[in-house]
Structure 1
């Protein structure tokens, strides 16, 4: 796995990003559409992605994004370990797979970010 991101769904992405930056000493790395990507201001830690969602729609809360070089192979490996594919999403030329772990917790398998 290349990297791990923690994604936080929020009705007000800007407000949520401001809160989490203050709470964790993070900074906004960049904005892309409905996504705000946050990094630790100093040191190391997981990247946070604040995803603006319509209030009352879609899954709420927090989920993991696994950033990998070979998405399809990773999906197959995790399916063999008991995960289920929920659906695929294509947005802005990128495709990722939304999956459920064996207990039904949502996570995403995404292509690695270009550095």
Structure 2
């Protein structure tokens, strides 16, 4: 797969969670665009990007899912469907659209356009 992986964590207070994880990991705030707070390693350092997503409390599903940021989202969605995943919905926010899917066991993942 070409692209990057972001780890998305669901919290009832994304801002507080982002502050905690940034301090815990030595990360920096990349940007905030409600309902998301994004943090990552300092420039020049390696490490995954964390997306803290504000969700209603209590969360009823897993609090973690993968975002697959790929150059060809449509092809990736089609390939994942052939592997047994299913499309749950297409979400459009802030001028972007991505596909929310579930793997064959019901675990959520998102296919997003590469930046």
**Normalising to structure 1: TM-score of the pair?**
0.90
Structure 2 partner of 1:110: 112
Q: Structure 2 unaligned runs (5+)?
A: none
Superposed displacement of residue 55, structure 1: 1.8
Structure 2 partner of 1:66: 68
Structure 2 partner of 1:98: 100
Which whole-Å CA distance do the structure 1 matches of 2:93 and 2:18 have between them? 21
Q: What do residues 2-48 of structure 1 show as CA deviations (whole Å, max 9, x unaligned)?
A: 11100111111111001111222211111112211111136201111
Q: Does residue 37 in structure 1 map to residue 38 in structure 2?
A: yes
Aligned length: 113
Give 4+ residue runs of structure 1 displaced > 4 Å after superposition. none
Superposed displacement of residue 57, structure 1: 5.6
- What RMSD, in angstroms, separates the aligned Cα atoms of the two structures? 1.5
Superposed displacement of residue 60, structure 1: 4.4
- Larger deviation: 10-19 or 47-56? 47-56
Q: Secondary structure of the residue that 1:6 maps to in structure 2?
A: strand
Q: Structure 1 unaligned runs (5+)?
A: none
